[in-house]
Chains A and B, each alone.
Chain A
Amino acid sequence: MKKARVLPVLGNLAVLAAGLAVLFGLPAFAETYLIINSTIFAAFAILALSLALIWGYAGILCFGQAAFFGLGGYVYAVTAINMGDTTVPAVLAVLLPALFAGMLGYFMFWGRISDVYLGVITLTVSLIFFRFINQTAGEQWNIGDAPLGGFNGIPATPILNWPGRPGDQLAPENIFSLAVGLLIIVYFCCKILLATRFGRIIVAIRENETRAELLGYDVRLYKLAIFMIGGAMAGLSGLLFANSVFVSPTMFSLPVSGQIIIWIIIGGLGTLIGPVIGCILMQILTNYLGTLSQVKGFGWVDPNLVLGVLLVIFVLLVPKGLTALVADGWRWLASLATRPRAAAEPAARERTSNP
């Protein structure tokens, strides 16, 4: 009982320490290239968290998280070009995807769309965005001063400025600190959210929707709320991505939607830290394979192929993901360590109480 309370606290402290170490340690020695790359990782990690929350905890398999991600980026880019100052656009980049998720969610949850169709609808929505933005080349697609730019995207995506000081842009190091800082904040906000009454009811609804309704919970409202929170997080991720690269239609593309799901499966569905780790590992791997394929003799290495094979291996052999693998391994080691020394009885009790 005591052990069960101490472990999560230790886990949280470890995550916080690791996060702070990256936040303050990395800029001390890393070059700008690594800083920018890490900013992208942090942005994607928030995207991974958004789906980890709504799929892993609310049981809503949204296949189109990229729609909110891209929307966040584009809303920011277009409003920032038009307004000059970026503070309001940054807020809109979170708010509008949340509202859009609310609208989409209303139709899906009130229409009682079941799991598979929900996946299909969300994926379709993101692909509609993709196709639409792709063909917005030309002046007729300017929104105010902002050209949507078709498949080229908006290379002139403005960088965030310090609030209230238009033109005073954040340096890449600042964007990095912002992204990693927000990742840490978002991570712990998710943790706290899941510990609240709302969060616990969300998990109960995932476990058994019928029972939740029979107890008097309006399941649709709860799902809508968590879906909107996920949309807001994906929008935030899009905002940060727009500030480390620039916005382009690929943000809405199928590979982005698919990638998020791969991160979660590899990291561990139903956890928060798993998808973050899965996301960062997969990004590092993709980058490495991308560089490798440039090297002579390794031209046949296709990052997508390797990712696909990895996904299949994980689905077949490690369906619970890396976090469960590490936890099981740890428990196995612990049982090896305690078995010879401790008396047989307490060891047996220990094992039955922690199945």
Chain B
Amino acid sequence: MTATALLETKGLTMRFGGVVAVDHVDFTLQEVELRCVIGPNGAGKSTFFKCLTGQLRPTGGEVLFRGAPVGRIGTHAIARLGVGIKTQVPNVFDGLTARDNVWTAATKVAPGRIAERRTDEAMERVGIAGIADRIVGQLAHGQRQLVELAMVIAPEPDLILLDEPAAGMTDEEVDRLVDLIAELNQRHALVVVEHDMQFIRRIAKTVTVFHQGAVLIEGNVADILTNDQVRDVYLGKQAA
């Protein structure tokens, strides 16, 4: 008997009028797996994430979390199952301090003192302890990304979804992010959407390529990055 996958989509489809943003995607992620998702702009990666977290209700197919369908439950209920997401445009509490941002995430899953401790730990791991008292709305884009990242990891979700986490970060911040992802992957499953191929090379094991809403190809990172079909898609030629 095979173990139930952590996350599985079957024929997942999302239409906006005549546009099919996500087209019959079958996607399987095992416990504690790290998966990178790449694809050109408009390939449907972010829409795919929104379907996973319940922000969009799929027009077809289903999403299974540990074998249980989550298509009809609300965003907050999916989050409570243990799904944390860093969205493409940072979703943070702009008017609050960095620490209050992370605390709001930690206190959802842990009481009192433990929430305080998890807040400090998450900020330490991400490397934003130094800006704890700054108002997040006044921070640089990269720092806001880090605050959001700390919010995602503070509740220790089983599945972490990262949508373009490296965007707007300095080289130093990217280095830390690479280490952090490797460290997180020891206990958590991750799906990382990214454009930056350098970044993908540094973290990836298995890569899924999206193109025009569908999965183009899936495989080992070395094979994918040398694949002609993938190169054509990125260079804008018609996929064979």
* Residues on A facing B (Cβ under 8 Å): 1, 197, 200-201, 203-204, 206-208, 210-219, 355
Contact = CB atoms under 8 A, between A and B. Distances in A.
Contacts, number: 69
Contact of A213 (B76, B92, B101): B76
Contacts of B95: 203, 206-207
B76 A208 contact: no
Interface of A is mostly: helix
Contacts of B108: 215-217
A55 to B, nearest CB: 15
B118 to A, nearest CB: 13
Contacts of A1: 133
16 contacts: A200-B104, A204-B93, A204-B96, A207-B95, A207-B96, A211-B92, A211-B93, A212-B104, A213-B74, A214-B75, A214-B79, A214-B91, A215-B104, A216-B76, A216-B77, A216-B108
B138 interface: yes
Contacts of A208: 91-94
B87 interface: yes
Contacts of A218: 74, 76-77
A210 B88 CA distance: 13
B149 interface: no
Contacts of B39: none
B14 interface: no
Nearest to A218: B76
Contacts of B155: 215-216
A206 B100 CA distance: 14
Contacts of B109: 216
A214 B85 contact: yes
Given A201-B104, A215-B76, A219-B76, 17 more contacts: A1-B133, A197-B107, A200-B100, A200-B103, A203-B93, A204-B100, A206-B95, A208-B92, A210-B75, A211-B92, A213-B75, A213-B79, A214-B75, A214-B76, A217-B108, A218-B74, A218-B77
B105 interface: yes
B80 to A, nearest CB: 4
Contacts of B94: 207-208
Interface string B30-71: 000000000000000000000001010000000000000000
Interface string B187-223: 0000000000000000000000000000000000000
